[in-house]
Amino acid sequence: MLTEIERQEIMTELQKYSLKQAGCIEALRIIQKYRGWVSDEGIRDIAKILEMTPDEVDSVATYYNLIFRKPVGKHVILVCDSVSCWIMGYDFVREHLTSRLGIHLGETTADGQFTILPVACLGACDKAPAMMVNNELHAYLDEERIDEILKKYGRKET
Ligand code: FES
């Protein structure tokens, strides 16, 4: 069930659109902002407000890879695996992250702090390799830089 704050924010957002269904992505983003991800219940709640079927809302949610349909960690690391980053060291970045955090792509650490997900181009090709953590872009990645970033987000040294 939506909280009053979520409902209010969605209703305010919908005023920007002549067709309420056009606010679907924003409604999903609002729920994710408060809960970290969008559950089946959240999908049904949005569907009711937007006069869509749950399947229609879910198809929008699953089309956009930045809407999470499963619980994720407190910090979501999106690692770019598109061509410039691939050439400039994606394999190294992925291996360093997965080894430091002890998880594979698509997984969340046992303490619920970090999730690593692959993502298409972050628009920082000239600064490759790049990744984004909680909407903050990090570029020119190397081993030292990745360790600094993980530390900044609270990863404890082992
Ligand atoms: S290819 Fe990685 S940011 Fe564009």
Q: Give the confidence band of 158 by pLDDT, cuts at 50, 70, 90.
A: low
Cα(3) to centroid of ligand 1, in Å?
37
Strands 136-138 and 131-133: antiparallel
Which of 80, 138, 140 best tests ligand 1's pocket when mutated (most atoms within 8 Å of CB)? 80
- Pocket around ligand 1: residues whose beta carbon is below 6 Å from it? 80, 82-85, 121-125, 128, 130
pLDDT in tens, 91-102: 999 999 999 999
Of 45, 122, 33, 106, which Cα lies nearest the Cα of 70? Answer: 106
Average pLDDT score, the chain: 95
pLDDT per residue over 113-154, tens digit each? 999 999 999 999 999 999 999 989 999 999 999 999 999 998
Taking the C-alpha atoms of residue 139 and residue 146, their distance in angstroms, rounded to an integer, is 10
Q: What is the 81 CA–ligand 1 centroid distance (Å)?
A: 7
